[in-house]
Amino acid sequence: MEIRGEKELQYINKLYFEFRDDGVLRKAVNKIRRKDQRYTKSEIAEFLNHEHDSYAHEFLDKLIEHDILKHAGKRKTASNQVDTWKLDKGKLLDEYIESRRFQEHKELNAAALDHIGEAFKFN
């Protein structure tokens, strides 16, 4: 998956660190239902930036295309049914590692972490 710019990197960072391994948000977020552990694209876009942000929706489409957001059924709303999604954090990390952006800087990042002794101290 190609990462286009800092905004997508911020989205990846936010998704990776704010979702648990099972694809559920770590903390309750205003306007986002958590009880059924699956989210609409609009809810995830709201979490990333703003529900009506077309760039966030394009990014989510890319995640769906790369099987990072997995279809989790439908949710009934007042007027219709909407698709819901779950995040596959492992696949997100795999795609990030395979990205040109990561590959171009992995040796420098590894050397920097080794230099400061942080290579294996992540929480």
Domains of the chain listed by start with CATH number: 5-116 (1.10.10)
Question: Mapping DSSP to helix (H, G, I), strand (E, B) and coil, where does residue 37 land?
Answer: coil
Q: Let me know: does 55 contact 96? Beta carbons within 8 Å.
A: no
Q: What is the tens place of the pLDDT at every residue in 2-44?
A: 898 899 999 999 999 988 888 878 776 766 666 667 888 988 9
pLDDT on residue 53: 73
Q: Residue 57's beta-bridge partner residues?
A: none
118's CB contacts (< 8 A; 6+ apart) are: none
The model's confidence at residue 118, banded by pLDDT at 50, 70 and 90, is low
Query: For the residues 77-83, what does the mean pLDDT come to?
Result: 88
Is 54 a residue whose pLDDT tops 80?
yes
Predicted pLDDT of residue 121: 59
